[in-house]
A = this chain, B = another copy of it.
Amino acid sequence: MAAPLIQRLGLEKKYAGVVDGVRQLIALPDPAGEILGRRRLDDDFVLTRIAVPIGVLGIVFESRPDALVQIATLCLKSGNAAILKGGSEASRTNAALFDAIDAALREDPALAGALHLAETRAEIQSLLALDDLVDLIIPRGSNELVRDIKDATRIPVMGHADGICHVFVDAGADVAMAARITRDAKTQYPAVCNAAETLLVHEAIAPRFLPAAALALRDAGVELRGDAATRALIEAAPCSDADWDTEYLDLVLAIKVVAGFDEAVEFINAHGSHHTDTIVTADAAAAESFLSRVDSATVLWNASTRFADGFRFGMGAEVGISTNRVHARGPVGLDGLVTYKYQVRGSGQVVADYESGARSYRYEELPT
């Protein structure tokens, strides 16, 4: 194994942070049991929508030794049972952490066996066939992993595909702000999904903005790749078409000069991964149009893409970031691990009475 991977697998330095994360999670309100709505249907006849655990989750996650603890405690906090499968490089650490959690669960008969650890890929394949028993699969990992899992199962998958995120510097941008946001979005943590991969620059501002941005980016060690218009203004390697669809996850940035606002929006919707995109501009009308028309889970105005994160959004805990369009989209907090049920409390009501006109509904929203 390469030295950086071995280093990443170590738990000792992360341990205090892991424990702190568990304590923070405990302090959050329980997502299951929350009353989401109440409506009177008629006298002595009330409809309640209440949050409940989804049921049994299957979670496949990356080789980070802190991931098992985080995921296990998120499942328990939300009242779900789960089968967990971590990356094989951390298998012994995962087994030791799991055993400690499992032993604690077995002290309470209601919790004993709520979590299971899968140790082989074959077990995951078996799991994916159990669509009558498993309610949701959450794969954390590569786009390929997510696609392979979707192909192999009828179970709903809450997946996080590529993060091809854009910074668009509009004609009306403050040049210094745009350079600062671009640098943060690209370099603050380049290996993660909400880091920027592509910079789009309005041609009206490119001659002023690009030289300043190039200075800031090169200073941070970023390799620049550009289209012809970009390379006419700054030094950069040539871009191929494939660059527009690539998630570098590294200190590389593709740059394109666009003829106008519409071209930028269309380019992002065509080449982005509907994850996170930002516009830098002083023009409020252009910003609002961008926030409305760019079809991504998170859209920002005058802020770095790196803010697209459950903790930074103030959710208290993060399950992951979803590029799904249904159930949960964007940064997913604990409420992404619950569903709801309808409870109706009546006093003998039958539908025939309402169909015949003997009774009629008297709807009224009630406080939760």
Contacts and interface: CB of A to CB of B under 8 A. Distances in A.
B188 A158 contact: no
A47 B184 CA distance: 19
Nearest to A280: B348
A292 to B, nearest CB: 8
Contacts of A330: 340-342
Given A156-B156, A313-B39, A349 B136 contact: no
Interface string A289-331: 0010001111111111011100011100000000011110111
Nearest to A183: B350
A172 interface: no
A250 interface: no
A361 interface: yes
B297 A345 contact: no
Main DSSP-derived SS at the A contact region: mixed
Given A47-B313, A154-B150, A343-B299, A188 B326 contact: no
A345 B307 CA distance: 11
B329 A340 contact: yes
The copy count of this chain in the complex is 2
Contact of A188 (B183, B300, B355): B355
A135 to B, nearest CB: 5
Given A135-B325, A312-B361, A346 B184 contact: no
A28 interface: no
Interface stretch (A3-11, A83-91, A173-181): A173-181
Given A39-B313, A154-B147, A184 B325 contact: no
A348 B180 CA distance: 8
A364 B115 CA distance: 35
A325 to B, nearest CB: 5
A314 B38 CA distance: 11
Contacts of A180: 348, 350
21 contacts: A39-B314, A41-B312, A54-B326, A55-B325, A180-B350, A188-B351, A188-B355, A291-B345, A298-B341, A300-B344, A300-B345, A300-B346, A302-B347, A303-B350, A312-B351, A313-B342, A314-B363, A329-B339, A330-B341, A330-B342, A331-B342
